Amino acid sequence: MESNYFQNIVNAEYNRKYDKYITYGTAGFRTKSNVLEHVLYRMGLLAVLRSKATRAAIGLMITASHNLEPDNGIKLIDPAGEMLEASWETIATNLANVQDSDLIHVLTDISIKENIDLSTPAKVITGRDSRKSSPILLNAALAGIRALNGNITDLGLVTTPQLHYIVVCINTNGAYGDPTLQGYYSKLATVFKSIKGAEKNNKKYTSVLNLDAANGVGAIAVKEFQRYLMDALDINLFNDGSGSLNHMCGADYVKVQQTMPLNIPSETNVRCVSIDGDADRVVYFYVDENNKFHLLDGDRIATLVAAYFKELLTMSGLSLQLGLVQTAYANGGSTDYISNVLQVPVACVPTGVKHLHKKALEFDIGIYFEANGHGTVIFKDTAKEVIKNHAKNEKLSEAQKTASTKLKDVIDLINETVGDALSDMLLVETILHAKGWDIIEWERSYNDLPNKQLKVSVRDRNIITTTNAERHCLTPVGLQEEIDKAVSKYSRGRSFVRPSGTEDIVRVYAECENPSDVNKLAVEVASLIYRLADGVGPEPS
C-alpha cells in the first residue's frame, strides 16, 4: 500500500538542487529563499502525513519572521496551534536533506514507523508573509500537498499567529473561535472594547499609539484591525509595507539595536510599538525629553501581565497557580522584580518558544515571554472552568465579582496558541488603561540592568554546547571558566553564550550594574570566543 501511495510524488521541478545540509530549528527551516523550493515541496508532503498521523488539520506557514527580505522559511503548526512536535522536527530535517532517489523510501519509512493510516483524509491550512519569494515557495508547498491528495485551505497573506489561531479553531470545531480572519479580528476587538469600556483615556493613559509594522504582513493586519477597533485605540501606522521588510525597523531591530526604527517620529514620551515581519513579536519604546531611547521589551510585558493577573487573582479570591517562564536572555532586573516583589514563581528554560510554551503549561495560568517580545499567556482548561464558575457565584462581593469577570473576559483577548504581537499589544493596552498608566509609569515598576548583545562568527557553531537552560557553556573546555572570570570583575555581572540554531554564529549576552561596563564585558566575552572557539573575522572592539 505505502509504496503505491507514494508513486506519484516525484516532481522534477522540485528536485533537490541545494547540496548543503539544512536543519529544522526552533523557527522551522530558515535560509536564503532561492534554495528552499525543494524543501517547501517536501514539507507539503510531510504536512499531509502529519495531518493523517494526528487525524487533524495542520498549518504550514511560509515566513522568515524578522529576517531580511532575501531570506524565507517554513514552519509546520500542530493541531492545538502549537509548534511541530520535537520528534517530527528530526523527521522534517531528514526529509529535507535526502537525495531525490530516496524520497519514496523515506516517506514510506515515515508512514510505517509512525503507524499512519494512509487512507485517513488530510487537511493542510497554508499561509504566507509578504516576501516576494513567498508566492513561489507557496506553489512548491501546494504541489507537495496535492501530490498526496491533501485537502488545502490557503489563507493567503496572514500573520503567523493568525494561522496558528485558525488551525486550533478548525480542530476544536469553532470552540476556540470562528475559524476565519474575520473571526480573529472580531473576537479580539470585541473583547478589548468590552473590557476597556467606553472611556478611551484614564488618568495618565491615552489611547494614542505609534506602531512600526516592519514593512511586513502585520501592516495588513493592523489596517484591518483598525476597522474593528474603531476609535477604541488610535493607531498611527508606520513602516506599513511601502519600505524594505525588517530594514532598520521591526521588533528585532529595535530590541537588538536599542534605537528608534526608521520613519517613526521622535515625539517626546509618546508610546510606540514595534512588531516583527510576521507579527509574532512585540516591543514597546519611547524617547524622553532628552531624546534618550527607552525600551520596554518582552521582560517588561511579562512583568506587567504577571502583576495584573496576580492582582486580579488576589481581588477575586481565587487560588490558582500563576507562574512566569523566561529564558537566559531575560534581564536580571525583571527576574528579581518577579521573584521578590511580585512573588510569582519563575522558571528558566532554553531559548525557543516551544520550550517556554511547554513549561508554561505546568501552571494553572502560565505567562511566558522571551526578551525579544515573543510570548503569550496559557490557561489550563480546569483553570478556565474555575474562573468561569467563580464569576457566576452570587455570594461574591462586588470587588470579587468585578475581578473574576475581568479574568474571564481577558482570556478571550489572548491568543494562547503562540506569541501574537497584536493580541499581546491589546493586552498591554488593556492593562495600562486599567491602571491609568502612561509608558513612563509602566517603566518605573523596576529598573533594568544595562545589557548588551553581540554576534560572533565562528567556523562551526556546533563547537559551542550549553546546559542549564543555555546559561552554562560545556564546550569548548575552559570557555565557561574564562567567562566566569570576566563576569566576576563587574558588579551584578552576568554573561552567557549560545550558538545560533541556523547559522555559524555565537550569540553573546552580557549585563551588569554600571552602564559604562556592559560593553566592556560583552566585548571581553566575545573575544574569548574568538580565541577559544575558532572565531573568524575581525575581533570585536
Q: Is residue 501 marked as binding?
A: yes
What amino acid occupies position 217?
A: V
Q: Which of 322, 236, 217, 338 is nearest to 280 (CA)?
A: 217
Task: Establish whether the linkage from the previous residue to 161 is cis, with ω within 30° of 0.
Answer: no
Q: Is residue 538 marked as binding?
A: no
Going from the C-alpha of 352 to that of each of 95, 105, 464, the distances in angstroms are 22, 32, 17
Cα–Cα distance measured from residue 16 to residue 181, given in angstroms and rounded to the nearest whole number: 35
Residue 130 is among the residues annotated as catalytic for this protein = no
Environment class of 385 (CB within 10 Å of its CB; exposed 0-12, middle 13-18, buried 19+): exposed
Environment class of 476 (CB within 10 Å of its CB; exposed 0-12, middle 13-18, buried 19+): middle
Q: How far is CA 541 from the centre of its chain?
A: 31
Q: Is residue 278 marked as binding?
A: yes
- Beta bridge mates, 457: 505
Q: Is residue 65 marked as binding?
A: yes
Q: Is residue 13 marked as binding?
A: no
Going from the C-alpha of 460 to that of each of 110, 370, 456, the distances in angstroms are 30, 26, 11
Q: Is residue 372 marked as binding?
A: yes
Cα–Cα distance measured from residue 239 to residue 312, given in angstroms and rounded to the nearest whole number: 36
Cα–Cα distance measured from residue 362 to residue 74, given in angstroms and rounded to the nearest whole number: 28
- Beta bridge mates, 458: 535
Q: Where are the alpha helices (DSSP H) in 78-123?
A: 86-97, 103-113
Given 3, 33, 51, 65, the catalytic residue = 65
Q: Is residue 345 marked as binding?
A: no
Going from the C-alpha of 533 to that of each of 230, 393, 536, the distances in angstroms are 54, 61, 9
Cα–Cα distance measured from residue 370 to residue 380, given in angstroms and rounded to the nearest whole number: 21
For 407, residues 6+ apart whose C-beta sits below 8 A from its C-beta are 309, 312, 313, 316, 318, 387, 391
Query: Can you read off the three cell numbers belonging to residue 536?
Result: 573568524
Q: Is residue 78 marked as binding?
A: no
339 DSSP 8-state letter: I
Q: Is residue 498 marked as binding?
A: yes
Numbered residues of the known binding site for substrate: 370-372, 498-502, 507
Numbered residues of the known binding site for Mg(2+): 65, 276, 278, 280
Q: Among all residues, which ones are annotated catalytic?
A: 65
Numbered residues of the known binding site: 65, 276, 278, 280, 370-372, 498-502, 507
